[in-house]
Amino acid sequence: MYSETVMDHFANPRNVGEIDHPDGVGEVGNPVCGDIMKIFLQIENDRIVDAKFKTFGCGAAIASSSMATELIKGKTLEEAWAVSNKAVAEALEGLPPIKMHCSVLAEEGIHKAINDYREKHGLEPWVETGHHHGEEPASEPNTQVPGSDTKKSEMNRGPIKGYETRSVSYQE
């Protein structure tokens, strides 16, 4: 059912934990399945020099978090923003369709952590322009919503409905 890569990242997750004084933190959750993911970033000169995670969830959620942090380390913020849920799933050599939401959480966690960093530095947050659950993302790191007169700063960036923060994490 799961690839060897998924099983390896579940059994031996990379980058588990928190970063002391992170530059950006992204916390996301799926109220349907109960998975919660928190991604921490250390950023220098607009490049991610370290990434860690804490995830409460199934094996696919832990593997997705682990792979996502591996994929974004060393990348610029724009390169990391472009890491899609599909890229995470492909790097894991596939996820079952019912578990693709785990890779979506990883993408969303990266986006929230980058935007947390941007907002802390007085920059406009980048906004996802719509996708999810297995589709290719349509998000771009700029200030104008493509094909619209709406600035991204004018769009709703409210919290995830039905999501409640919990202080639990995966332990090695």
Q: Which are the catalytic amino acids?
A: 33, 102
Token reading at 157: 């960036």
Q: Which residues contact 168 (CB under 8 A, 6 or more apart)?
A: 36, 56
Question: Collapsing DSSP states into helix, strand and coil, what is residue 41?
Answer: strand
Over the range 128-159, which residues count as b (16 or more CB within 10 Å of their CB) and which as e? Answer: bbebeeeeebebbbeeebeeeeeebeeeeeee
Token reading at 40: 């921490």
